[in-house]
A and B are shown apart, each in its own frame.
Chain A
Amino acid sequence: MAGYIIKRIAVAFLTLLLIMCITFLLMNAVPGSPFLTEKSTPEMIARANAKYGLDKPLYIQLWNYIKNYLRGDLGTSLKMQEGTNVSDIIFHQGKFTLSLKLGLYALLLAVIIGIPLGCIAAYNRGSWIDGFLRVLTTIGVAVPTFVLATLLLVTFAVKLQWLPTLSSSLTSFKSYVMPVISLSFYYTCYVAKLTRTSMLDAINQDYIRTARAKGVKTHALILKHALRNSLIPVITYLGPVMAGIITGSFVVESTFSIPGLGKYFVQSVLNRDYPVIMATTVVLSALVIIMNLVVDIAYKIVDPRITLTEKED
């Protein structure tokens, strides 16, 4: 187990390194300079380049990035908040916490709503409840996040005025409602579908029949015996969910004007603020990679049958 975790952490670092290299190459493949404006002269650009070390050969620039990142220094912003330390922008101006909170709440909602819904559907298989939930979840995984987010915004904030239009600071409970729901809706439906399928699989197993024959009550049967086994596919799916929630947060954050990391990343790409692009990419990727690691280890705990070293497909 310990060996496996060490190996996975090493691979995670390797992946992050690869992501840094790819990001660096892509950033530098964009023609033009971050300092290019209508007023700038070639001298000004050269001076700015020299100031931020952009005149050095690419491999040295890349090496500097890696060296500084290992020391925990994410560099300074070139453009968007010139001269400010990027780690200050990300961690101390609340962007990271804002996005993380939004993402975790969405994840939590997907799990605590999705899994029970799946259980209810499987338990009432073939009844109208199952039918209704199937229709709901099937449609749910086909609605794009931005359509849902905008419709919620128009209905509840603009027309009915029950909820605030701008959730910018996410201070009150009310301001969380719409962003979290629109971010987690797809995943709630997907988790519910997944739980239903694997629950039905589990219910048809022999050990469930044995337990039933021994007189275990139905709700105990579902909650204790069937659920535990049917959770495995759901847990495997949580890694991709995290990546998806980060993707979704780009849309949700721009729809609800939340100044989070997702919105900041999009802006930094459009502004070509190299250190900010690099930092946001690495932080978001690290989040996804850590989540995948946690999921894989949780996987092992839930199902001891899985041998981690031979994980093919």
Chain B
Amino acid sequence: MDGKFAKLSPFQLDPDKIPDTLSPADFESAAESEKASMVEKHKSVSYWRDAWRRFKANTVSMVALGIFILCLFFAFIGPSLIPYGYGAQYRSSQKLGPFEYSKGEELIRSITDDCDAFYATALQPGSKTAVSKGNYFIRYKGATYAFTLAKAVEKSVIMLAADAAEPLLLVKESDIKDGSVTQSTPIELSETAAEDAKELKLVRNVVPHVFGTDSAGRDIMARTMYGTRVSITIGLVAALIVLIIGSIYGAISGLAGGAVDFIMMRIVELIYSIPEVLIVLLLQVVLKDPLQAWFDSGTTAFARAMSDLGSGIVSIFITFALLYWVTMARIVRGQVLQLKKQEYVTAATALGASGGRIIRRHLLPNCVGQLVITTCLQIPSAIFLESFLSFLGLGVSAPMASLGSLCSDALETISLYPYRLVFPGVILTVVVLTLNLIGDGLRDALDPRLKK
């Protein structure tokens, strides 16, 4: 192959400049590699890839997405990283501030970690004693409980706190023969330490209560994590309910047209003009008892799952299913009215497609952008509503928590412990803020025509 042609495309060839000396080799068909350099490939870009590209270019939305993912980690993975449960009450550690932990917890932690005996003076009044490693039994109010050392100490702290007058026996395994105690280490006041005891240096490696604890001794961080999980889940499920009902209703109304559309839209207008919060409050009270009765009698897996959620949350879902789908229905109807005039819908109708098939195959997939945007912006509004109801004492009930109920709990002691409101309040704000920003970003990415 002659080097003269290599750099020129056929369109650039000037007939006057064709070299005089042509060899037959120049007329051979082009090799595959040469053909490849001629073709400009346009890789087809899918709708979602294109939208993702636009979304990625939006710094604010990307940062919001990152923070929201952090919130998801906090809510869904966080609880397994900290040693405290959302409902557990740590008796010795009530009303702690942020990053604090109680003496009792410190003591228990120290014993489990690095010593074979503990010698407590500050633990409880009258509990100067020493124990060695091994299995332990607690004899309390006539019953005997078996524990490891750590648990035994923990339990005895709790039991002593509950009833200081009741005698409590902490017994080593070796001291029990045939079920009766042969030798005991009573937890009682003694001026001298037991013989095998050594004084304990408290080791500060207790996981602190990062957000402090509430008046019942529950870890606020664990509760906030759990509450965030509940709030986000409520938001997602409620938005999904709105999506399903609203899109089906709107699509049917738009596609049917005529009298059906007229009646369906009048219904939407009526529901739209009802101040929904008044009805929501009534519904919350009304639904509470019937739902509870259904939970108690229900044997299906569905009823049990709902019962785990509690009547407050389920009635929030019912409220959304009854009242909040109208905006979605209006948006979808507007889209469908535009789309149904398109040729492909006519073609589908001509080929005998049913209304349901046209909605499923042609109309809804074509307004997916609007559906995603509206659903995404519905989530924060559901979270707001739930927190509002919980704040008024109608949403989730203890020991369950949501961000709203945590804020509500914090109110009683707000002047003494303002941080109890700040943590859930800030997280609620951050979740709603990031979801709003993600929604805005999605709007720009999925529907560039709307971009201002």
A interface list, Cβ under 8 A from B: 11-12, 14-15, 18-19, 22-23, 26-27, 29-32, 138-139, 141-147, 150-151, 153-154, 158, 197, 200-201, 243, 246-247, 250-251, 254-255, 265-266, 269-270, 272, 277, 280-281, 284-285, 288-289, 292, 313
A277 to B410, CA, bound (A): 29
Interface check B236, CB cutoff 8 A: no
Q: Which residues of B contact A150 (CB under 8 A)?
A: 407, 410-411, 414, 421, 425
Contacts of A139 in B (CB 8 A): 429, 433
**7 tightest A-B CB contacts, nearest first:** A142-B433, A147-B425, A142-B432, A247-B277, A26-B282, A288-B275, A158-B415
Selected contact of A265 from candidates B281, B407, B428, CB within 8 Å:
B281
Minimum CB–CB distance from B255 to chain A (whole Å) comes to: 16
Across the interface, which residues of A come within 8 angstroms of B289, CB to CB?
30-32
Docked Cα-Cα span, A293 to B417, in Å, equals 45
B380 pairs with A142, CB closer than 8 A: yes
Q: A141-B436, A158-B415 are in contact. Are A197 and B388 (CB under 8 A)?
A: no
Mark contacts of B130-162 with chain A using CB atoms, 8 A cut-off: 1 yes-contact digit, 0 otherwise: 000000000000000000000000000000000
Tell me whether B452 is interfacial, beta carbon within 8 Å: yes
Determine whether the beta carbon of B274 is less than 8 Å from that of A154.
Answer: no
Instruction: Give the Cβ gap from A199 to chain B, nearest Cβ, in Å.
Output: 11
Is B207 an interface residue when CB atoms closer than 8 A count as contact?
no
Asked if A146 contacts B282 (CB within 8 A), the reply is no
- Interfacial chain B residues near A142, Cβ < 8 Å: 380, 429-430, 432-433, 436
Bitwise, B353-389 to A at CB < 8 A (1) or not (0) is 0000000000000000000000000001000100110
Closest to A292 in B: B273
| Known A19-B278, A144-B404, A154-B418; 16 more pairs at CB < 8 Å | A15-B274, A22-B279, A26-B279, A26-B282, A30-B286, A142-B380, A146-B388, A146-B404, A147-B421, A153-B414, A251-B391, A265-B278, A266-B392, A269-B282, A285-B278, A313-B330
Contacts of B85 in A (CB 8 A): none
Q: B436 to A138, Cβ gap below 8 A?
A: yes
B298 on the A face (CB < 8 A): no
Q: Are A284 and B278 in contact (CB under 8 A)?
A: yes
Can you list 25 contacts pairing A with B, beta carbon distance less than 8 Å?
A: A19-B278, A26-B282, A30-B285, A30-B289, A31-B289, A31-B290, A142-B380, A142-B430, A142-B436, A143-B429, A144-B429, A147-B407, A147-B421, A147-B425, A147-B428, A150-B421, A150-B425, A250-B277, A251-B392, A265-B278, A280-B278, A285-B274, A285-B275, A289-B273, A313-B334
Q: How far is the CA of A115 from the CA of B19 in the complex (A)?
A: 75
Query: A147-B407, A147-B429, A158-B415 given as contacts; is B421 within 8 A of A243 (CB)?
Result: no
CB pair A254 B392 closer than 8 Å: yes
- Report A-chain residues with C-beta under 8 Å of the C-beta of B398: none
Assess the B414–A154 pair: CB atoms within 8 A. Answer: yes
In the assembled complex, the Cα of A51 lies from the Cα of B314 at a distance in Å of 36
Contact A18 B274 (CB under 8 A): yes
B282, A277: Cβ atoms closer than 8 Å: yes
Are B433 and A138 closer than 8 Å at their CB atoms?
yes
CB-CB under 8 A from A288, the residues of chain B are 273, 275
Asked whether B282 lies within 8 Å of A247 as measured between CB atoms, the reply is no
Q: Which residues of B contact A266 (CB under 8 A)?
A: 281, 392
Nearest neighbor of A266 in chain B, beta-carbon distance: B392
Interface centre among B278, B384, B408 (most CB of A within 10 A): B278
Chain B interface main SS type? helix
Query: Given A150-B407, A201-B452, A246 and B415 touching (CB < 8 A)?
Result: no
Asked whether, in the complex, the Cβ of A243 is within 8 Å of the Cβ of B286, the reply is no
Q: Please state if A23 and B282 are interface contacts (CB–CB under 8 Å).
A: yes
Q: Please give, as numbers and ranges, the residues of chain A lying within 8 Å of B429 by CB-CB distance.
A: 139, 142-144, 147
Closest Cβ of chain B: how far from A9's Cβ, in Å?
13
| B387/A284 in contact, CB under 8 A | no
B70 on the A face (CB < 8 A): no
Residue B437, interface by CB 8 Å: yes
Specify which chain B residues have a CB less than 8 angstroms from the CB of A14 in the assembled complex: 270
Q: Which residues of B contact A153 (CB under 8 A)?
A: 414
Asked whether any CB of chain A lies closer than 8 Å to the CB of B202, the reply is: no
For B330, the chain A residues whose CB sits under 8 A away are 313
Interchain nearest-CB distance for A233 vs B (Å): 12
Task: State the B residues within 8 Å of A (CB).
Answer: 269-270, 273-275, 277-279, 281-283, 285-286, 289-290, 330, 333-334, 380, 384, 387-388, 391-392, 404, 407-408, 410-411, 414-415, 418, 421-422, 425, 428-430, 432-433, 436-437, 452
A184 to B283, CA, bound (A): 27
Residues of B near A158 (CB, < 8 A) are 414-415
**A15 x B392 contact (CB < 8 A):** no
CA–CA, A11 to B275, complex, Å?
A: 15
A12, A32, A246, A289: the one within 8 Å of B277 (CB): A246
Query: Please, which residues of chain B bring their CB within 8 A of the CB of A29?
Result: 286, 290
Residue of B nearest to A313 (CB): B334
Cα distance A80–B433 when bound, in Å?
Answer: 40
Residues of A within 8 A of B290 (CB): 29, 31
Contact B285 A270, beta carbon cutoff 8 Å: yes
A144 and B425: CB pair below 8 A? yes
Set of chain A residues within 8 Å of B388, measured between Cβ atoms: 144-146, 247, 250-251
> For residue B273, which residue of chain A has the nearest CB?
A15
Taking CB as reference atom, which chain B residue is nearest A200?
B452
Residue picked from A26, A144, A153, A247, most chain B C-beta under 10 Å: A144
A269 pairs with B270, CB closer than 8 A = no
Give bound CA distance, A15 to B281, whole Å: 19
Contact partners of A141 in chain B: CB under 8 A: 436
Closest A residue to B384 using CB positions? A144
Tell me the bound Cα distance from A18 to B407 in angstroms.
35
Shortest C-beta distance, B67 to chain A (Å), equals 12
Residue in chain A with minimal CB distance to B435: A142
Q: What is the bound-complex CA distance between A31 and B407, given in angstroms?
A: 30
Taken together as a complex, chains A and B put the C-alpha atoms of A265 and B279 apart, in Å, by 11
Q: Are B285 and A269 in contact (CB under 8 A)?
A: yes
- For B380, list chain A residues within 8 Å (CB): 142
Pair A15/B270 contact, Cβ less than 8 Å:
yes
In whole angstroms, what is the CA distance A240 to B432 when docked? 20
Asked whether, in the complex, the Cβ of B277 is within 8 Å of the Cβ of A27, the reply is no
A88-B281 Cα distance, complex, nearest whole Å: 24
Task: Select which of B275, B408, B414 is within 8 A of A243 by beta carbon.
Answer: B275
On whether the beta carbons of B277 and A243 are closer than 8 Å, the reply is yes
- Cα-based distance from A222 to B274 in the complex (angstroms): 37
In the bound complex, how far is the Cα of B333 from the Cα of A23, in angstroms?
A: 29
- Chain A residues within an 8 Å CB radius of B391: 144, 146, 251
| Nearest Cβ on chain B to A100's Cβ, whole angstroms | 15
A60 to B125 Cα, complex, angstroms: 69
In whole angstroms, how far apart are the Cα atoms of A292 and B270 in the complex? 13
In the assembled complex, the CB of A42 is this many whole angstroms from the nearest CB of chain B, namely: 19
With known contacts A29-B286, A158-B415, A269-B285, A18–B392 Cβ distance under 8 A: no
B202 smallest CB distance to A (angstroms): 35
